[in-house]
Structure 1
Amino acid sequence: MKFKHGILTIGVTGGIGSGKTTVCKIFEELGAKVIYADELAKNLMTNDENLKRKIIKIFGNEAYIGGKLNRKFIADVIFTDEKKKKELESVVHPAVIKEILSEFKKLAKNKSVNFVIVEAALIFESGFDNELDYVIVVDADEETKIKRVMERDRCSREEVLKRMRSQMDVRKKRELADILLQNDGDIEELRNKVKFLYSLFDKISKSTEVN
């Protein structure tokens, strides 16, 4: 099997409250290399001067306070302004993808890991699925997801539903998934499912047909 970047690459995505970050933390505990796209984006938005200039052009000088990203201001704007949200994504996504592809190249060259996991909320929306060998969609029963987010973020049911409605329809994500990971049970059940996937990817990554 030939991998797209010389190393097996797997995306992990899912809607709010699905537990995709928990899945990635378990992969990490098992020894997998995990790239968190959200952390990478925050880092680039703070430290990449070229990207900072583009963000200031979209949001004005209020986007940064003392050189630091004004997260609350930007979050408030994009929550109510779809145009600004799309403009932000149009400059941030390419920068993040470029950084991840560079990391793939390094990992393939160093051969330090057998496969790499990328956690990202917008894998399909950004077209990044085309750069990955497999995409796992983590999902759960809607009521379970609502309850998780309400407890985690101390917010109302209506706020959670609003955030859910602003995301890609989960049914569409499920259709696009290579692997669907249902996360309705407890942490041990989830850990066992991730262990199975880890073992599966480990075997695929060691395929003798890799070029």
Structure 2
Amino acid sequence: MIIGLTGGIATGKSTASLILNEQGIPVIDADIIAREVVMPGKEAYEKIVAFFGDDVLLSDKTLNRAKLGEIIFNNSEKRLKLNEIVHPAVRSEMKKQAELHLSDGNPLVIMDIPLLFESKLTHMVDETWLIYTHPDIQLKRLMERDGYTEEQAVSRIKSQMPIDEKKELADVVIENNGTKEDLKQKLLRLLQEVKKTDFMK
């Protein structure tokens, strides 16, 4: 079984990923894979350089992410092209890693995908779990964590799909309005429920 884990900024998704990984469950992180597939020698890297040119490379031949970001920020056509190169490579690598973990005898694999709903990737998983935090707590946590003003924090939260919209789409909603220990206990209980289902026997 593959579970798609998602959340919003400062809701605790990364903490949940760590807790699940500590229980011996393989976690495939979409953000990490997105960085790996554009390393020198990878197919996506070659395609990016072929399209954008050597200007987007640093002296060590790795991608200059800041430069690439500037280019696509101001050009929707080029942004679309970059997504067309990177997204399929990320999906393919995630699927490959999930299949390896399952064939190794792991009955459960977590795919940590921040933009699970926005990128319409629910077809890649069997069930979606959302780490949900009340919007007021989300705002407070973000301000404390990153030292943002309220205005800065609000603008970052507003750049994402509202957490309450994600709540409507998720199969399982895990409330994370308390401590890290509260979240851990909820996840452990959820894993116990999952283990009672047929596929974990």
TM-score by length of 1: 0.83
Residue of 189, 194, 201 corresponding to 1:201: 194
Q: Deviations over 1:131-186 (max 9, x none)?
A: 21100111212232223223333333333322222222323211110001111111
Q: Within 1, Cα distance between the matches of 2:132 and 2:116?
A: 15
> Which residues in structure 2 correspond to 1:1-211 (within 5 Å)?
8-56=1-49, 59-65=52-58, 66-78=60-72, 84-111=78-105, 113-204=106-197, 206=199
Q: 1:147 to 1:194 in 2, by over 3 A?
A: same
Deviation larger for 72-81 or 139-148: 72-81
Q: Is the 8 A contact 2:139 2:153 kept in 1?
A: yes
CA RMSD of aligned residues (A): 2.3
Matching residue of 1:5: none
* Local SS of the residue matching 1:46: coil
Question: Deviation at 1:83?
Answer: 5.1
Q: Is the 8 A contact 1:114 1:202 kept in 2?
A: no
- The one-letter code sitting in structure 2 at the alignment partner of 1:18 is T
Relative contact order (C-alpha < 8 Å, sep 6+): which is higher? 1
Q: Is the 8 A contact 1:114 1:205 kept in 2?
A: no
Q: 1:53 to 1:47 in 2, by over 3 A?
A: closer
- The one-letter code sitting in structure 2 at the alignment partner of 1:38 is D
Q: Within 1, Cα distance between the matches of 2:23 and 2:49?
A: 40
* Local SS of the residue matching 1:180: strand
Q: 1:69 to 1:179 in 2, by over 3 A?
A: same
* Local SS of the residue matching 2:39: helix
- Tell me the number of residue pairs that the alignment of Structure 1 and Structure 2 aligns: 200
Q: Deviations over 1:42-88 (max 9, x none)?
A: 11112453211333456553432122222333445555655554443
Q: Is the 8 A contact 2:107 2:200 kept in 1?
A: no
- The one-letter code sitting in structure 2 at the alignment partner of 1:130 is H
Q: Within 2, Cα distance between the matches of 1:32 and 1:10?
A: 11
Q: 1:165 to 1:77 in 2, by over 3 A?
A: farther
* Local SS of the residue matching 2:197: helix
Q: Within 1, Cα distance between the matches of 2:11 and 2:41?
A: 31
Structure 2 gap segments, 5+ residues each: none
Q: Within 1, Cα distance between the matches of 2:170 and 2:135?
A: 18
Question: Deviation at 1:24?
Answer: 0.8
Q: Within 1, Cα distance between the matches of 2:70 and 2:178?
A: 34
Q: 1:87 to 1:155 in 2, by over 3 A?
A: farther
Q: Deviations over 1:175-208 (max 9, x none)?
A: 1100011111111111111111222223336356
